Structure 1
Amino acid sequence: MADVSGAASQSHGHQVRKIRDDRPWHWLALGWQDMTRAPQVSFAFGICLALASWALAYGLWFAEFGYLVLPMAAGFFLIAPLIAVGLYDTSRRLQQGRPVDLGLALMAWRRPLQVASFGMVLLLLHFAWVRVALLWFALYFSDGTPPLDALPFFMLEAANLPFLVIGGLIGSGFALVAFSISAIALPMLLDREVDVFTAMITSVRTVQANPRAMALWAGLIVMLTAIGLVTFFVGLVVMFPLVAHATWHAYRELVA
């Protein structure tokens, strides 16, 4: 059970719980249990995401837009909660003792208007990040774009460290906004009759009420997702459903 020390705040009647700082590890353990209880659904989502990532990366490289692979990969953090809706619903069904299968997970948009509206917020945030990343790339390499085939090694040169540092800080800012408004918003929209604004405000308040626990949770998400990305998307087969299932349990513990 969560270590609840009282409601830290209240958002339109939804209490936000104060939890122990180490609870994200427990969410991952519960997420792993859900994966083992519904492996067909979990790995189907993970495999499809890996295949889509490969196709997108290859398409960008083939079209000579290879420099977009990095910002698009970073943008994954912004839109991943939307992709994971079916996995949230699978965890919800497991918790309620109801049957689960891939068809039910794909039909999980019980409130399509609210979920789609929040999805638009995440997509707009993602597009804004891509535009800003392109602008920063164009400004930094104003004297000429480096050759695509040498781009990964070119980025690692010491002279280009400012590009990576500043780009990373900009991306971190976008990721912080995305995490704050979406940490528990989509599971909440799936589970309760609330509007998008209430879900986002409640999500922000969970982060404010539990800064250390949510900082740990954000760090774990970044680490696990990074493993998925640096393994040429193979790791996403496991990491993506694991984080998605764990996110459901985070929501259930954080919001009364």
Structure 2
Amino acid sequence: MFSLTLASLSPADPLRWLAQGWRDLVRCPRIGLFCGACFALMGQALWQAFQHPPAYVLALSAGFLRMGPFLALGLYDASRALDRQTDAESAALTSLRAGLQNPGVMFLWGALITGLCALAMLPAFLGLLVVGPVLGHATWHAYRHIVPAPVAALPDKSAVTP
């Protein structure tokens, strides 16, 4: 994982990842819209909890923070199934390395995620129905771009007997 060569990034890359995330949502809408609906419903539940005693807010906030990453993993798995296999831990550690290697582009990526999530929450969290899955898929495409696929080894011709 630490020996992987990471790609150099350009400021246009985050927009490319978002476009690829949108294409994945269109290609595989059921799982994406299910996860998006879960994000939107959790946001609504959290908003309703703010209308009640603080204990409810704390419990639902903790639940929301724990469920979000698990739902996103389902989206990563859908994108990964369309591409290549890796585990979530390796992907997370490699993402940290990418942030250190390309801080400007990764800051832009984080700002886009933050801005899109904020906008998605404005219409009663309904924007999360689409924004959540697109960001989930796009994050996988970011990882895939940052960590180029390994080149398949060609068979050794000297080992082949005539």
Q: Percent identity?
A: 37
Would you say 1:247 and 2:122 are equivalent positions? no
Separation in 1, partners of 2:49, 2:56: 12
Residue aligned with 1:14, SS: coil
Match of 1:220 in 2: 112
Residue aligned with 2:6, SS: strand
Change (3 A) 1:193 1:243: closer
Match of 1:113 in 2: none
Q: How does 1:104-253 map to 2 (within 5 A)?
A: 191-192=85-86, 196=89, 199-253=91-145
Would you say 1:56 and 2:35 are equivalent positions? no
Q: Residue type matched to 1:211 in 2?
A: P
Contact 2:39 2:68 in 1 (8 A): no
Contact 1:60 1:66 in 2 (8 A): no
Q: CA deviation at 1:247?
A: 0.3
Separation in 2, partners of 1:193, 1:248: 12
Q: Residue type matched to 1:51 in 2?
A: L
Residue aligned with 2:10, SS: coil
Residue aligned with 1:17, SS: coil
Would you say 1:65 and 2:61 are equivalent positions? no
Separation in 2, partners of 1:54, 1:206: 34
Q: Residue type matched to 1:228 in 2?
A: A
Deviations 1:140-192 (A, max 9, x none): xxxxxxxxxxxxxxxxxxxxxxxxxxxxxxxxxxxxxxxxxxxxxxxxxxx33
Q: CA deviation at 1:88?
A: 0.7
User: Which of structure 1's runs of 4+ aligned residues deviate more than 6 A?
Assistant: none
Deviations 1:82-111 (A, max 9, x none): 330111111122336xxxxxxxxxxxxxxx
Contact 2:49 2:56 in 1 (8 A): no
TM-score, with normalisation over the residues of structure 1?
A: 0.50
Change (3 A) 1:84 1:201: closer
Separation in 2, partners of 1:16, 1:36: 28
Unaligned runs of 5+ in 1: 1-10, 97-190
Equivalent pairs counted in the alignment come to 145
Contact 1:81 1:244 in 2 (8 A): no
Separation in 2, partners of 1:242, 1:36: 9
CA RMSD of aligned residues (A): 2.8
Contact 2:91 2:143 in 1 (8 A): no
TM-score, with normalisation over the residues of structure 2?
A: 0.76
Q: Residue type matched to 1:242 in 2?
A: V
Separation in 2, partners of 1:52, 1:18: 36
Change (3 A) 1:224 1:67: farther
Contact 1:21 1:210 in 2 (8 A): no
Residue aligned with 2:51, SS: helix
Deviations 1:22-51 (A, max 9, x none): 100000000000011111111111012211
